[in-house]
Amino acid sequence: MKNFLKLTDFTLAEHRRLFERAAELKQRRAEGLAEHTLGGKTLVMLMEKASTRTRLSFAAAAFQLGGSAVELAAGTSQLARGEPLSDTARVVSGYADAVVMRTSSDARLEELARYSSIPVINGLTDGGHPVQVLTDAFAEAAPLFGFDLWVGAPAAYSLPAADVDRAGGRVKTTTEPRMAVRNAEVVITDVWTSMGQEAESAARLKAFAGFTVDAALMAYARPGAIVLHCLPAHRGEEITAEVLEGPASRVWVEAENRMHVQKALLEHLILHPEE
């Protein structure tokens, strides 16, 4: 049994196969061809935070592959009345074939995984959003993880040094937004204040001043560069409406790709995790 809690849970070869299968599934859907590889399978989505894309794209992925998806909203389940996650994990494992969880702490996601006997997928934690990263890598699948990544952020919000070290020189950080996007082929931004960080909103707005992805900043990127944003977007903060709605934006296909990539992910985890 395999989980997808973080990107590194899969080998490069597995990521390659996922992207190939996602592209195939995307093409088959465009041609109107049905795939029912997950007939009779059930996905449970345990959501402890708000979601539009993650919830819908996983549900659509399961349904379109012939399976079913059930959302277990934490607020309306027995979790809200104190039932331990470890108990919920074992019960869900008896009903379903995979579970997606969106929660705050990685420790809570890992607890779910520890007590589950079905694959657990990270639907976003404070530590990361691997299904989103997977999808964004799919947008640029040709060089497949062979790209260099510049992370531009104020010093207090930069990547931990250990993460940069682990990337073996492929990841560089800067506090200068123009340096981050210089010659980039893909520019990715995200909200400055994530769910659960609302109390820091004013401080983050101040700290990230100058990091808005606008036309002036995009001028430093390579001609033809594309822009990704996992959404929801705050127009006028991390990205201008002009860029989000402009010709460089690929945000709508990025959102759609979540479903194609997650179909491939569900097939891999449920049907052939040993490959």
Does 102 participate in catalysis according to the annotation? yes
What is the spatial distance between Cα 269 and Cα 251, in angstroms, rounded to a whole number?
A: 27
Give the active site residue among 97, 132, 136, 268.
132
- Considering only 52-60, 105-113, 218-226, 261-269, which stretch makes contact with ligand CP by CB under 6 A? 52-60
End-to-end CA distance of the chain: 11
The only residue of 98, 230, 266, 269 in contact with ligand CP, by rule CB under 6 A: 230
Shortest distance in whole angstroms from residue 132 CB to ligand CP: 5
Give the active site residue among 55, 129, 204, 229.
129
Interface mask toward ligand CP for 98-137; x: CB under 6 A: --------------------------x-------x-----
Shortest distance in whole angstroms from residue 60 CB to ligand CP: 13
- Considering only 23-31, 49-57, 204-212, 241-249, which stretch makes contact with ligand CP by CB under 6 A? 49-57
What is the spatial distance between Cα 19 and Cα 21, in angstroms, rounded to a whole number?
A: 5
State the burial class of residue 102 (Cβ atoms within 10 Å of its Cβ: 0-12, 13-18, 19+): buried
- Considering only 45-53, 73-81, 93-101, 158-166, which stretch makes contact with ligand CP by CB under 6 A? 45-53
What is the spatial distance between Cα 51 and Cα 75, in angstroms, rounded to a whole number?
A: 14
| # residues contacting ligand CP (CB under 6 A) | 8
Helices 251-271 and 12-30 pack at an angle, to 10 degrees, of 120
53 touches ligand CP (CB under 6 A): yes
What is the spatial distance between Cα 97 and Cα 271, in angstroms, rounded to a whole number?
A: 10
Give the active site residue among 21, 230, 262, 268.
230
The only residue of 54, 93, 103, 257 in contact with ligand CP, by rule CB under 6 A: 54
Ordered DSSP codes for 41-63 = -EEEEEESS--SHHHHHHHHHHH
Does 21 participate in catalysis according to the annotation? no
Q: Residue 115 or 137: which CB sits closer to ligand CP? A: 137
Residue 226's SS3 state is strand
Asked whether 134 and 265 are in contact (CB, 8 A), the reply is yes
51 touches ligand CP (CB under 6 A): yes
The only residue of 52, 86, 117, 201 in contact with ligand CP, by rule CB under 6 A: 52
Shortest distance in whole angstroms from residue 146 CB to ligand CP: 24
What is the spatial distance between Cα 92 and Cα 118, in angstroms, rounded to a whole number?
A: 9
Q: Fill in the amino acid letter for 275.
A: E
CB atoms within 10 A of CB 236: 11
Shortest distance in whole angstroms from residue 51 CB to ligand CP: 3
Does 258 participate in catalysis according to the annotation? yes
CB atoms within 10 A of CB 181: 24
262 touches ligand CP (CB under 6 A): no
- Where do contacts with ligand CP occur on this chain (CB under 6 A)? 51-54, 124, 132, 230-231
